[in-house]
Amino acid sequence: MSAFRRFLTVVVMVYLLLALLFIALPGTRDSVQSMFGGERADFWFTMTVIGTVLLLLELLVENVNSVAMRRDITRHESKVNELKAKLYDHQIDQRDRDVRPGNTTAVPSTYAHSAPTFTPPAPAPGSIPRTGTSVPPPSAVDLPPSAVPPTTTPYPNEPYPNDPPRV
């Protein structure tokens, strides 16, 4: 809602409150009657009542329209979410069909005789060539005592295996 529309709504509500006070309180009517004279006060009172009824009707119609639009937007958003869920389910089903072992595709005979071969890339000039050996992970002996988790023993009187030997 724009700032002008909010301002206009506030002005209309303030006018409606003042008009309802003017209509409901007889003392206000008497003071207006004394200000404008006898017949003009009745005219302004009638115009105030008509204006109040019209503005009240306009506010009610505007709020009903706003509620209907919000409900329509919510309905459309839920429809979009439902369609997205159906699309996602369809994609999952399609992926499952493609992955199933029973759905193997036949390889054309032109490609059946040549199996792809993998040749590792040549090392960069000046680099150390890989030998194929890897470094084993550190064992409990290589780790400091704080990094080795304590273990329990099956017998209550024996020391923990990670405790230092008693001298």
3-state secondary structure 98-159: HHCCCCCCCCCHHHHCCCCCCCCCCCCCCCCCCCCCCCCCCCCCCCCHHHCCCCCCCCCCCC
The confidence score (pLDDT) of residue 78 equals 94
pLDDT tens-digit series, residues 120-167? 677 777 777 666 656 666 665 666 666 555 555 556 666 666 666 666
Q: Where are the alpha helices (DSSP H) in 25-113?
A: 26-36, 38-99, 109-112
Q: Which two tokens stand for residue 123?
A: 């090392």
CB 19 within 8 A of CB 52: yes
CB 12 within 8 A of CB 56: no
The confidence score (pLDDT) of residue 116 equals 63
The confidence score (pLDDT) of residue 47 equals 83
Report the distance separating Cα 89 and Cα 105, nearest Å.
Answer: 24
CB < 8 Å & 24+ apart, contacts of 147-153: none
pTM over 0.75, yes/no: no
Indicate the average pLDDT of the chain.
Answer: 76
pLDDT tens-digit series, residues 53-91? 888 898 889 889 989 999 999 999 999 999 999 999 999
pLDDT tens-digit series, residues 27-51? 877 776 777 666 666 777 788 888 8
